[in-house]
Amino acid sequence: MTPQRKRARGAAAAGAVVIAAALSAAGPAQAAFPGNNGRVAFSNQTFGTSNQLVRSNIETVNADGSGRALFPTCRRRRTCGDGDPTWSPNGSLLAFASRTRLGTAAANGSNVDRLRRRTQSDGQPAWAPDGSRLAFTGQLSPTSPTNVFILGCAGCGITPLTFRGGTESAWSSTNRVAFTRKGNIYTMASTAKRAKRLTFKGGTQADWSPHASKLAFVRKGNIYTVRRSGKGLKKITGAGGTQPVWSPDAKQLAFVRRGAIWVVGTDKQGLRQLAAPVPVVPLSTGQSVRLAAPSWQAVQ
């Protein structure tokens, strides 16, 4: 998942209230938690002629493809740098990456708060199952490896989860964190010191199923699922797919293909395009749009 970010104006105390609110209203629901299928959030990215990222806005859409709308984290669409949206466990909040820091907002787009930057570049947020913490990736120094860290509140210190490298973290309903290291997937408890290697022939961009019995991931440009034991490997796509996320009812996967958001059943049936790469503002000559980083909201 590609992290993008934008500048901040919320106070640290306000961010602490936002994260704590997820815990006080906690319920078992998110892309990786059981619930009814809500809206799918994703990044709308504009690239220039040299393939540089020009802007990134967050959008949401209903699970049937209707009601597509801009998620209002930015006042100015043309200069927005927000992406990597991630719904909280009860679907009431959205965490996101905002250039070099993290941000949070209510599900209706209100109470936008950009948190204080903790590392060289904070990104790829993932909620804890109780909604009280965020896992994220960052570098403590320009020469250090990217690792996974845990943030308990906007005013709290961060706790490193990995020390030898880790990206693309995903937090399960059973309190295990999956992440990518050197082209393979590892998992570990959020309080553990050692990780268990899950894949040995390649794997990235893991996402836990709602009851944490399986993971979806990417290998050689296609999407697979596997049981948490590492057994039961199943190929879902054959024509390409990246950045898979489970639906809250565990029956479908949303993913990215050729810059659009698609949905397919876990039985490989019902493939359909959910959102096409449509720009949020008129494009300049040579610019193009790609959608990325879907996250599926669960509702009770």
Contact 149, 135 (CB under 8 A): yes
DSSP 188: E
Q: For the chain, list the domains and their CATH numbers.
A: 12-299 (2.120.10.30)
Contact 43, 293 (CB under 8 A): yes
pLDDT reading at 17 higher than 70: no
Rounded to whole angstroms, the Cα distance separating 149 from 184 reads: 19
Which pLDDT value is given to residue 193?
Answer: 92
Task: State whether residue 77 is helix, strand or coil.
Answer: helix
Residues 6+ apart with CB under 8 A from 258: 240
Closest CA to 46 of 71, 74, 83: 83
Contact 74, 80 (CB under 8 A): yes
Query: pLDDT tens, 62-84?
Result: 999 999 999 999 999 999 999 99
Phi, psi of 77 (to 5 degrees): -65, -35
Band of residue 3 on the pLDDT scale cut at 50, 70, 90: very low
pLDDT reading at 27 higher than 90: no
Residue burial 24-39, b: 16+ Cβ < 10 Å; e: rest: eebbbbbbbbbbebbb
Rounded to whole angstroms, the Cα distance separating 297 from 60 reads: 10
Which pLDDT value is given to residue 10?
Answer: 36
H or E, element range at 21:
helix 12-24
pLDDT reading at 203 higher than 50: yes
Band of residue 30 on the pLDDT scale cut at 50, 70, 90: very low
CA 113 to chain centre: 18
The stretch 274-290 carries a mean pLDDT of 97
Radius of gyration (Cα) for the chain, nearest Å? 17
Contact 243, 294 (CB under 8 A): yes
pLDDT reading at 28 higher than 50: no
Joined tokens for residue 221: 């440009």
